[in-house]
Amino acid sequence: MRRFAAKIDNNQKEIVRQLRQIPGVTVKTGHDDILVGNKGKTFWYEIKDKSAFAKRTGELFVTKKQTQKSQAKLKECWKGHYRIVSSFEEIFEEIQ
């Protein structure tokens, strides 16, 4: 399954910049949205603006505008690592 992100969320460039500053971490963009490699593991992240998450619950709003059907299906069916995030801190905490 080959997928490419059609739109880059506003926070993606800064998240990628911060990740690339960490020694030993590699980042590949364009794979819905980024692949992050660290310590022999690969992490697949879809990056969304914070506005895509409910303020009270933190749950992702699943709308056509914010999440494509294919992304929602991937999150549900993918057997490897795949997570929808909105910040560098969420990724950093997980890859350590």
26-54 pLDDT, tens digit each: 999 987 789 999 999 999 998 888 776 66
In a domain, 5, yes or no: no
Q: Of the candidates 27, 53, 52, 43, which has an alpha carbon nearest to the alpha carbon of residue 78? A: 43
pLDDT band at 63 (very low <50, low <70, confident <90, very high): low
Task: Tell me how many domains the chain contains.
Answer: 1
In a domain, 27, yes or no: yes
What pTM, to 2 d.p., does this model score?
0.74
CB 85 within 8 A of CB 91: yes
In a domain, 4, yes or no: no
Angle at 33 between CA 50 and CA 76, to 5 degrees: 80
Element (H, E) at 95: helix 88-95
pLDDT at 5 (0 to 100): 46
Residue 78: which domain range? 12-95
Report the distance separating Cα 63 and Cα 69, nearest Å: 9
In a domain, 7, yes or no: no
| Token digits of residue 41 | 């593991």
pLDDT at 77 (0 to 100): 82
Using DSSP's 3-state secondary structure scheme, residue 90 falls into helix
In a domain, 69, yes or no: yes
pLDDT at 30 (0 to 100): 82
pLDDT at 61 (0 to 100): 60
